Amino acid sequence: MSPSQESIFPEYETETSQTSKLIKKFKETPFVPIGMGGFAAVVAYGLYKLKHRGDMKMSLHLIHMRVAAQGFAVGALTCGVLYSMFRDYVVKPKE
């Protein structure tokens, strides 16, 4: 960038590290990474149990795992929204 050009997004240029951006985002919305981690855990558990599902049909097993993974992700996002509303409307001092 030449010195004559002004920066459009100066706050993003000071934090060029992807890790620092990710940590900042996790602090703003802590339940999103929890939901992502839970989703990944349910998927990993489902893949592990795929071998030992007994006489259950594969389609039924996959449906159960999909519902569990989606439920965990939606639950974490709902908790995040409730946490954000609590932080903005209850904890934040009124102006």
The token pair that represents 42 in the structure block: 């349910």
66 located within any domain: yes
Would you state the pLDDT for residue 67? Answer: 92
Q: Looking at the domain assignment, is residue 18 inside a domain?
A: yes
Higher pLDDT, 35 or 94: 35
Full residue range of the structural domain in which residue 29 is found: 14-91
Give the number of domains in the chain.
Answer: 1
Rounded distance, CA 48 to CA 29, Å? 30
Q: Is residue 4 part of a domain?
A: no
6: in domain: no
Q: What is the tens place of the pLDDT at every residue in 15-66? A: 568 888 778 877 877 887 888 888 889 889 888 888 888 888 888 988 998 9
CA atoms within 13 A on the CB side of 57: 3
The pLDDT value recorded for residue 28 is 78
What's this model's pTM, rounded to 2 decimal places? Answer: 0.61
pLDDT of amino acid 50: 84
